[in-house]
Amino acid sequence: MLIHILTLFPQMFQGPFAESIIKRAQEKKLVEINIHNLRNWANDKRGTVDDRPYGGGAGMVLMIEPIYNALKSLKPKIEKTVLLSPRGKVWNQEMARKYAKLKHLILVCGHYEGVDERIKKFVDEEISIGDYVLTGGEIPAMALVDSIVRLIPGVLEKEEATKFESFSGPQIPNATYNILHTRLLEYPQYTRPENFQGQKVPKILLSGNHQAIAKWRQEQALKLTKKRRPDLLR
């Protein structure tokens, strides 16, 4: 998979993309991530990419021309172009799975007070990572890349580990909610020690009865989801 990221702050990505799973995915040649400074496509020597908004108002707005110039030079073989924006569709695990099947992706990091509205003609989708405002699109871009890359086949040693994570499963039938396939929070996990300050690991997990353990985990996942995220059951 080839990912291009357009940003005003390329150095922000050095740490997150040089560690852990994303680092290993790049070393395995399963993903190539290119970070581009948007100022490289500015129309002047100063690298100007923003200007005052027409109609007045506080702050500065990212200009359309540098973004257009960048997309024009990168886009010929790109399947999906995304603008990270608080106005966008909220990112979720289902979207991450769809994006993990792409071969080429461009992420445009918004900044300042916004982006010239005319960018909509040149992007396929606007995406947000939640109902709050960040300084720019760099952190959302990192979140998207992390959630996508870990789902690319071969990135994780045990790919089945992603099947029962929060928002992915487990997928179970339940007459009460009439659900066959739903996004549940992950069931509780435990490891050593068996007893920590009086808090003991549930006996069922020590039983060795895998069928009973699977049933317990399903029940716990449904219980947790009902309590903390009932909206996922609707």
Q: What is the pLDDT of residues 134-173, one digit of tens each?
A: 999 999 999 999 999 999 999 998 654 555 565 565 444 4
**The pLDDT value given to residue 90:** 96
Domains of the chain from N-terminus onward: 2-149 (3.40.1280.10), 160-233 (1.10.1270.20)
Strand partners, 80: 105
Measure the CA angle with vertex 23, ends 26 and 84; round to 5°. Answer: 85
Q: What is the pLDDT confidence band of residue 29, given thresholds at 50, 70 and 90? A: very high
Instruction: Assign residue 151 a region (left: φ > 0; alpha: ψ between -120 and 50; beta: otherwise).
Output: alpha
**The pLDDT value given to residue 180:** 38
Q: Where are the beta strands (DSSP E) in the chain?
A: 2-7, 32-37, 50-51, 61-62, 80-90, 104-109, 125-128, 195-196, 199-200
**The pLDDT value given to residue 79:** 87
Residue 157 CB partners (closer than 8 Å, separation 6+): none
**The pLDDT value given to residue 213:** 96
pTM of the model: 0.84
Distance CA 37, CA 68 (A): 14
**The pLDDT value given to residue 195:** 95
Measure the CA angle with vertex 230, ends 131 and 184; round to 5°. Answer: 90
Poorest-confidence range of 20-24, 123-127, 183-187? 183-187
Q: Summarize the confidence of residues 20-34 as an average pLDDT.
A: 97
Do the bridges between strand 125-128 and strand 104-109 make them parallel or antiparallel, or are there none, so unpaired?
unpaired
